[in-house]
Amino acid sequence: MHPIFLAAIAILSLSVAAPVARAQNLHEIPSDLTVPPATDEKPAAGRRVKIQLPEFSGSSLFHVLYLPPGWSSGKKYPVIVEYPGNGGFSNRLGDKSTGRVEDCELGYGISGGLDFIWVCLPFVDQVSKSHALQWWGDADATAAYCRGAVRQICEEFGGDRDRLVLTGFSRGAIATSYIGLRDEETAKLWRVIIAHSHFDGVRRWDYPGSDSDSARNRLARLKGRPLYVSHESSVEETRKFLESAGIVASHHPLPWPNHSADWVLKDVPERAELRRWLAESLRRTELEAGNSASR
CATH of the domain at 43: 3.40.50.1820
- Residue 186 lies inside a defined structural domain of this protein: yes
Taking alpha carbons only, the member of 78, 63, 48 closest to residue 282 is 78
- pLDDT confidence of 15, banded at 50, 70, 90? very low
Q: What separation in angstroms does the CA of 196 have from each of 100, 175, 193?
A: 17, 11, 10
Q: Stretch 145-159: mean pLDDT, rounded?
A: 98
Question: Over pLDDT 90: what percentage of the chain?
Answer: 88
Average pLDDT score, the chain: 92
Q: Residue 33 and residue 36: Cα distance in Å, rounded?
A: 9
19 within some domain: no
* DSSP label at residue 58: T
Q: What is the pLDDT of residue 118?
A: 99
Tell me, yes or no, whether 10 lies in a domain.
no
Q: Are strands 124-125 and 130-131 parallel, antiparallel or unpaired?
A: antiparallel
| Per-residue confidence (pLDDT) for residue 286, from 0 to 100 | 77
Query: What's the pLDDT score for residue 288?
Result: 75
Q: Is residue 46 part of a domain?
A: yes
Number of domains present in the structure of the chain: 1
Question: Confidence band (pLDDT; 50, 70, 90) for 11?
Answer: very low
d(CA 95, CA 142): 26
Question: What residue spans of the chain are helical by DSSP H?
Answer: 3-17, 106-111, 139-157, 171-178, 184-187, 212-219, 236-244, 269-294
Domain, as residue range, for 64: 38-294
Q: What percent of the chain has pLDDT above 70?
A: 91
**220/217 Cα distance (integer angstroms):** 5
Is residue 176 assigned to a domain?
A: yes
Q: Is residue 24 part of a domain?
A: no
Q: What is the pLDDT of residue 275?
A: 98
Q: Is the pLDDT of residue 17 over 90?
A: no
Instruction: Please state whether the predicted TM-score (pTM) of the whole model is above 0.85.
Output: yes
Q: Does some domain include residue 28?
A: no
Distance CA 6, CA 124 (A): 69
Asked whether residue 165 carries a pLDDT value surpassing 90, the answer given is: yes
Q: How confident is the model over 166-203, as pLDDT tens digits?
A: 999 999 999 999 999 999 999 999 999 999 999 999 99
In a domain, 23, yes or no: no
pLDDT at 292: 55
pLDDT of residue 36: 97
pLDDT band at 23; cut points 50, 70, 90: confident
Backbone angles phi, psi at 97, to 5 degrees: -145, 125
